[in-house]
Amino acid sequence: MKSSQGFTLIEVMVVVVIVAIFAAIAIPSYLEYARRATASQAQQEIQRLAVLLDRHKARNFNYRGFSISSTTVAQDSSFPYTISIVDNSTSNPALNANSAIGQGWAIKAETSDPKNYTFLQTSTGLKCKNKTSAVVTFDSCSTTDNGSEEW
């Protein structure tokens, strides 16, 4: 009698189904993990900039003249966030603009990924995030009804 070698079609189909189930679970989990990692990186960069702003104020007695050129992550081309710092005590010019008063600041980290958060932190202590980037201004993240959360 001849012995058979190889796999039957049923065995191959079972393996394909098992691999598909693993992929259906693992890929979305990994994508969510990657989004959380970049969001955490944006939060860390905002907090680092807040410390630099406080150091600048301690030396200069106001926030005027602070430049974002001292950042590291914000200049990385693979970083999916755009970080902006403005003077929040006037009509939101940059802190190094002539019209800046320099008594307060607002930092906004905005992403193009609609599944990730846009972050805001101000010198008054406001820390909020929202997945709807259009509603996040330099003053607020809208209301909790519109998806705003504290961080």
Q: What are the pLDDT digits (tens) for 81-109? A: 999 999 887 667 888 887 888 899 999 99
Please state, in angstroms and rounded to a whole number, the distance separating the CA atoms of residues 151 and 144.
13
Residue type, 113: D
Please state, in angstroms and rounded to a whole number, the distance separating the CA atoms of residues 110 and 119.
7
Please state, in angstroms and rounded to a whole number, the distance separating the CA atoms of residues 115 and 98.
37
79-93, 106-120, 132-146, range with greatest mean pLDDT: 106-120
Please state, in angstroms and rounded to a whole number, the distance separating the CA atoms of residues 123 and 76.
25
The whole-number pLDDT of residue 68 equals 76
Please give the helix or strand (H or E) that residue 32 lies within, else none. Answer: helix 9-60
Range 142-149 average pLDDT: 86
The whole-number pLDDT of residue 65 equals 87
Range 119-143 average pLDDT: 92
- Top pLDDT among 54 and 69 is at 54
Please state, in angstroms and rounded to a whole number, the distance separating the CA atoms of residues 95 and 85.
7
In contact, 101 and 123? CB cutoff 8 Å: no
* pLDDT 10s digits, 12-65: 999 999 999 999 999 999 999 999 999 999 999 999 999 999 999 999 999 988
Tell me the pTM: 0.81
Residue 1 has pLDDT above 80, yes or no: no
Beta-strand relationship, 127-130 and 81-86: unpaired
